[in-house]
Structure 1
């Protein structure tokens, strides 16, 4: 789905403008901008992780272009929880203006501040908890507890004279949560009685019927797998999944094993969680991984990152035998996470690699070692019936998720015209209980590539894909600048195109003839001659080798 580009209408007095800059049509880059009375409030500022067709890219950011000239108008950034797809882009936003206030729960802000420290940015933050009310410019904010796969997640109710908005962030309705912190349905009900004018709701599991299983159902499965494992156990999970790490610590402790944390983000996040009291570490369980290698194989559990098949994460490096810990026969590897859309191939490659090494790989498809952190269709239906919102904007999901969520809203009686299917950059105005699309911004992907931000373009990525998939050909020709005649060449070098450069012997006369014809027609410009070379060899390679490599012709004057 793509909404045609159209400049938004001028914002009228008393109207709340809502513009998602990320998180729609994708699982990641969550960021929504609210504008009222000349001031901006941002909810979440996350990253998207690259897919295979984006080689070399480290992270993908929301497009900040619509707010770059209005940084002084931002009253704050509300962060609903501490996952990367909601906080990962904060350092890049604060590079533009460091004193933008950050608002979130204690764990969320601690995780953000650790990231900012790496970027040498000092934040201005306000810690809030469920039940708190804060005023930021024209925005009255109320924070509501929601249950998710990370502690301390919050939904936020935003009140302005234009109406009441409820943004859930990521949530589910686990009725027996490990930390005892329920999604506050009483607060939801109260807001519903007050009258919700616009409901921004998590869509990730909207196409899954029923209810998300309980987190506590995972503990016994992990304990059983660890109890039966004959040698080492390696558990891979998200580096921020405090509940899952807690279950692994408890299971290891129950069976006389010690736990070593692997991966910089895992160590950092769990240290923060333990310091703040969200992770309870049994005595004498944690051990430095370097010392862990001295333990008997049946006395250790490694807790690592890399559950999504990320090439540089610990588990992928293990599968490639590029890590100090090399899995082998008798080892058990547990992938305690769900698949983020787009990561399937990378994850299955890691599973295959580990299996080839002889490890027993346990994952969601063959054991209940993970449950989602997002509300399924049954939970969303409960929310719609409790809240009875006037307008619904499904967020956080690919298009099939957004549409499934909209249909759920319609099933509960919300009119189709009041369930808005939007895109990143869609501009929505809310006034007098009516939410309508008034424009569409032209947004792009902002790529983080090594130390560069936003300098890599889609054209650059296309070149990288061509290099990786089709190969590279260079053609060097030395010409006399006065006559245009060929002094030397054409000399052809190729990589990844053919087994032997001798295969190009047949095309050399064709390039020579094409250049002579061009010179005979009065062509002397080096760029024009380069294009003659490119077209000639390009047609030949396509016809003879069925390839479309990158071709770099070089015309050198003698």
Structure 2
């Protein structure tokens, strides 16, 4: 896997820091950044992006490792800022390329990552760090700071190098009353700023939203009110890594004297790790196994499951479709979607709400109750970071381009020279030295699709074919021709799938295909591939004009002797 270079970067000078974002810029997900210094590489985060409806069959989307794929032996370590999938989800795929890359992160972050790696039969070398720790890793001196987000144990990392100090925030918000009481370490960040931050890489997700985000604690009363008012069973759907949200759900269940049931493999695994490490507190005799929950009265149980984004295979969708083996939803039950609505998932989520409502459930969600707040800071919080850290330069990360641009403007508003603000994209090569920051090259950066057991083999062309199959249907056209005289010995035989019309509708186009082949043969054409293209064009024009559709067309033109071989093989089977 070699990198495709759009603009070749120069040879890296001694003590110059090269920064290459391999994902996470221009998108919300697959966050990964490589830092190179004097021939050695440090990576921060390695996450996945989840597919959209326009990417049928795709399970996950990985960062494009190609820019460093032939240099993995130079990688000193992988720093993980926190335990969300868009920051740790691609770690197994990187470690399959080199399994002894040391992982550095907080206890919870590494606990979640190690559990994921165990499923891939990879045992990593892990280094646990805490806030204010300093750690030398090859050419890099790392320093860690507590930041708040929607999962516990998040750490920003300062990377000290001869070229200057870079601060990578990971995902952040300024929560003044976090569930675990661990506020953002502005004292330490202020000290770092006084020492000098040469480049700030900061979360941009809500940079275009004015003001300040609300505390995670603020959703607690609405969750509690919903659970206390429920008369039937309660089903709450949220992300399996949202430990703070789950803690408030558990607290509400305890107050309502309900037993709590975790549903789904990732939910059981992640929350089990959080409880074991002391980040989730569940009173004794509160948690029950799914198999035992069926014997409890419906008004004494609360299920916590995945599927708040309408994912077809997640627990909540199966419940809504009546396909879950243990849980049924009906009249008098309450379903709480305690998460955000991720852009692109609107149709799936609304369909899910409709199915649940049709079954008689009362559905509570962000649109009708205060049951979710963002884990990312609004512009006011980002301004606070800029004013505390006082960076000389800025390179916004983590967000679509509208978010990156808004973050860049915040940097300028707080006094950063516009010439020292870099709005990059995935694959951009950015060099930091004592002379400043400069874009010096560009690698092509593709989406790497995970499709079942396949990694990186599915292309955009394949996805286009799948979309065509899904939306427009499929037609095969089989023709057998005697190339000695141009006589058709088979067909044209047309078969369609995914079109509402009966196959008899194609009777009108068969003579057109026969004439097109005859004309081509008369002109001296004997190449079966060329004849296939003639069949495709003839059939495609007719379908477009007559049926107003653009299905996938697969023409198959066989010479007569091949037809005979196929028929004999069928007869002898």
Structure 1 outlier segments of 4+, above 3 Å: none
Post-superposition CA distance 1:29-68 (Å, at most 9, x none)? 0000000000000000000000000000000000000111
Report SS of the residue matched to 2:377. coil
Give the match for residue 406 of structure 1: 408
Give the match for residue 179 of structure 2: 178
* Partner Cα separation in structure 2 for residue 33 and residue 339 of structure 1: 30
Give the match for residue 157 of structure 1: 158
Report SS of the residue matched to 2:100. coil
Give the match for residue 269 of structure 2: 268
- The 8 Å contact of residues 390 and 433 in structure 1, kept in 2 or not, is answered as no
Give the match for residue 570 of structure 2: none
Shift of 1:406: 1.0
Listed as ranges, the gaps of 5+ residues in structure 1 are: none
1:149-548 correspondence to structure 2 within 5 Å? 149-324=150-325, 325-432=327-434, 434-548=436-550
* Partner Cα separation in structure 2 for residue 28 and residue 538 of structure 1: 39
* Partner Cα separation in structure 1 for residue 345 and residue 87 of structure 2: 18
Report SS of the residue matched to 1:414. coil
Report SS of the residue matched to 1:395. coil
Shift of 1:353: 1.9
Shift of 1:442: 0.6
* Partner Cα separation in structure 2 for residue 189 and residue 500 of structure 1: 72
Greater mean deviation of Cα atoms: 235-244 or 345-354: 345-354
Greater mean deviation of Cα atoms: 426-435 or 514-523: 426-435
Shift of 1:76: 0.2
* Partner Cα separation in structure 1 for residue 336 and residue 418 of structure 2: 43
Greater mean deviation of Cα atoms: 257-266 or 289-298: 289-298
* Partner Cα separation in structure 1 for residue 157 and residue 232 of structure 2: 46
Post-superposition CA distance 1:181-216 (Å, at most 9, x none)? 011001110111011110000011111111111111
* Partner Cα separation in structure 1 for residue 378 and residue 419 of structure 2: 23
Shift of 1:121: 0.7
Report SS of the residue matched to 1:21. strand
Give the match for residue 123 of structure 2: 122
Shift of 1:326: 2.5
What TM-score does the superposition give when structure 1 sets the normalisation length?
A: 0.98
* Partner Cα separation in structure 1 for residue 239 and residue 286 of structure 2: 20
Give the match for residue 568 of structure 2: none
* Partner Cα separation in structure 2 for residue 197 and residue 396 of structure 1: 19
Greater mean deviation of Cα atoms: 258-267 or 8-17: 8-17
Shift of 1:433: 5.6
Give the match for residue 24 of structure 1: 25
* Partner Cα separation in structure 1 for residue 354 and residue 180 of structure 2: 35
Question: Does structure 1 residue 95 correspond to structure 2 residue 96?
Answer: yes
Shift of 1:341: 2.6
Shift of 1:11: 1.2
* Partner Cα separation in structure 1 for residue 435 and residue 354 of structure 2: 53
Post-superposition CA distance 1:435-470 (Å, at most 9, x none)? 111111111010000011111111111110000000
Post-superposition CA distance 1:397-417 (Å, at most 9, x none)? 111111111111111121222
* Partner Cα separation in structure 1 for residue 274 and residue 472 of structure 2: 47
Shift of 1:10: 2.0
Shift of 1:217: 1.2
* Partner Cα separation in structure 2 for residue 475 and residue 523 of structure 1: 19
Shift of 1:343: 2.2
- The 8 Å contact of residues 142 and 156 in structure 1, kept in 2 or not, is answered as yes
* Partner Cα separation in structure 1 for residue 337 and residue 442 of structure 2: 40
Give the match for residue 552 of structure 2: 550
- The 8 Å contact of residues 250 and 282 in structure 1, kept in 2 or not, is answered as no
* Partner Cα separation in structure 2 for residue 73 and residue 300 of structure 1: 52
Listed as ranges, the gaps of 5+ residues in structure 2 are: 561-573
* Partner Cα separation in structure 1 for residue 441 and residue 345 of structure 2: 32
* Partner Cα separation in structure 2 for residue 327 and residue 418 of structure 1: 56
Number of aligned residue pairs: 555
- The 8 Å contact of residues 27 and 340 in structure 1, kept in 2 or not, is answered as no
* Partner Cα separation in structure 1 for residue 311 and residue 6 of structure 2: 34
Aligned-CA RMSD value? 1.1
Shift of 1:356: 2.1
Report SS of the residue matched to 2:531. helix
* Partner Cα separation in structure 2 for residue 166 and residue 233 of structure 1: 43
- The 8 Å contact of residues 155 and 169 in structure 1, kept in 2 or not, is answered as yes
Give the match for residue 110 of structure 1: 111
Shift of 1:526: 1.1
* Partner Cα separation in structure 2 for residue 430 and residue 156 of structure 1: 17
Greater mean deviation of Cα atoms: 258-267 or 409-418: 409-418
